[in-house]
Structure 1
């Protein structure tokens, strides 16, 4: 008996509106089954409590997912003051309660400047970071707390959107590696009553900033029901959209041939350094990097599908 074929070759990026209550991997596997896709990966986890932008990469697009992992992100986060949880969000157990005096935008704005720009964060115990080969959240569930080294992150923007009762909503733009749960916990400590995340939505990641372009799980399921996996595939975006921060280099037929053989090439008027998007006659063919001598070397080439 022949081996069962493991899915279809599907290439592209889905901007999923991740539903609340599922892990990023659960969301990925659900979409992968809907598309019957052979190869898939996501671009950095969202907590189960979080919703919003989760770019999912399929097929050849997995070769560029690392560029999205390094991208800046934007969130809308609601914090509940007066209660500290073991996870830093509403999914955890309350471990401390403190009185909340009147919560105002003015009081919050007085402490926010210390959390803007380059700051240090101690990663939470409930995180996927590893220590001596074990995930921190596994240790936390066993009741073990270990020392974590502070990490430098950048908070590009932090503003108060709304204050209602014991909750406040913030807009946050930040670098990769930022834990919004930790940011809210630290703001709560600075203000006095402590805080945890009660709602979190990612609204932008790297070049993807249009929340109106997000695709819900319901939309994916409806497309498959109506026209099969091929219909849902029409909701994917070209992988080069993830890379718009880098300049384009157009290759003629001869240069494209050598690049596909893995050879660096001279390209007139090419950028002097850094990563570049490579285009040939048939469109995007991958990413290259400018070498010290000015040649462009292929680094992440995209396989051409037959048919």
Structure 2
């Protein structure tokens, strides 16, 4: 990038709710949107596979400092499984591994689904961005290398059967962070004895954000720069579940400098979102004993 192009980039700050289309990677669409906004800095809060569509919150500028807290939020998916077939990737992009006849009753299916409600142990798929010795598992998988993955505790808050027609199974899944729908398809297929893989996946919610409030790339492309900026949510939009604390001018100045401050508004423990007395969002703090708040993640002072 030239020196001129670096200086011509805009200091865009905020969160954009994007409705990702089919067949494009999360990183590629992020770069396209970043270019549309002419933004200096941008990142997403949890990737979607090219096969998947739906909600992809994008963070710009100072909002990228809070992206980790959005990554930790629960997710909701609408997904369709093809029963009777397994693939190398666990979805429709992979090569077919096995085929079996499907002869399953609704009662059998519901009995299996009951086993996947609540806290479960889930083995992540090989085709994932998880790393082994610094290398993503999907790169090893493409070389035909499979390594043992440790099961991880995840939670399904709600698992609703929307449709079951012969070989197609459609579910609404509300799950915790770190959950893999492809692993759920594989596990359910194993329990049913016929195998299964994902043929449709749409993220409908992430934390408090809903895909119905999201904008498509094509819509952004038709907007002018001012209209695009109007699509951005405030930097702190994704953390309003945290308790709010307002600091007096002196305390907020010390807090901005990285110092622990005392305030009667502080809760006993936990993370808080911190504001100055002029209602300017400063960052995230950690409540300590003695009504003290320690800076955890600070925004730039010019925001």
Please, what TM-score do these two structures have when normalized by structure 2? 0.95
Q: Please, which of 266, 275, 297 is the counterpart of residue 300 of structure 1?
A: 297
Q: Aligned partners of 1:235 and 1:106: how far apart in 2?
A: 46
Q: Aligned partners of 2:106 and 2:17: how far apart in 1?
A: 33
Q: Give the Å deviation of 1:165.
A: 2.9
For the residue of structure 1 that corresponds to 2:29, the secondary structure is: helix
For the residue of structure 2 that corresponds to 1:120, the secondary structure is: strand
**Segments ≥4 residues shifted beyond 6 Å:** none
Aligned residues of 1:78 and 1:198 also touching (Cα < 8 A): yes
Q: Aligned partners of 1:275 and 1:285: how far apart in 2?
A: 13
Q: Aligned partners of 2:3 and 2:265: how far apart in 1?
A: 50
**Which shifted more, 297-306 or 137-146?**
297-306
Aligned residues of 1:105 and 1:162 also touching (Cα < 8 A): no
Q: Give the Å deviation of 1:104.
A: 4.5
Q: Please, which of 255, 261, 267 is the counterpart of residue 259 of structure 1?
A: 255
Are 1:274 and 2:270 matched, yes or no? yes
Provide the aligned length of Structure 1 versus Structure 2.
299
Which residue of structure 2 aligns with residue 54 of structure 1? Answer: 56
* Cα deviation digits, residues 174-219 of structure 1 (max 9, x gap): 11111110001100111121110110011111121x3220111111
**Which shifted more, 68-77 or 294-303?**
294-303
Which residue of structure 1 aligns with residue 235 of structure 2? Answer: 239
Q: Give the Å deviation of 1:231.
A: 2.9
* Cα deviation digits, residues 22-73 of structure 1 (max 9, x gap): 1111111110001000001111111111111111000000010000111111
Are 1:97 and 2:95 matched, yes or no? no
Aligned residues of 1:17 and 1:216 also touching (Cα < 8 A): yes
Specify every segment of 5 or more residues in structure 1 that has no aligned partner in the other structure, as ranges: none
Aligned residues of 1:105 and 1:160 also touching (Cα < 8 A): no
Please, what TM-score do these two structures have when normalized by structure 1? 0.94
Pairwise mapping of residues 96-135 of structure 1 onto structure 2 (< 5 A)? Answer: 96-101=98-103, 103-135=104-136
Q: Aligned partners of 2:182 and 2:233: how far apart in 1?
A: 30
**Which shifted more, 284-293 or 10-19?**
284-293
Q: Aligned partners of 1:305 and 1:25: how far apart in 2?
A: 28
Which residue of structure 2 aligns with residue 68 of structure 1? Answer: 70
Q: Give the Å deviation of 1:282.
A: 4.1
For the residue of structure 1 that corresponds to 2:77, the secondary structure is: strand
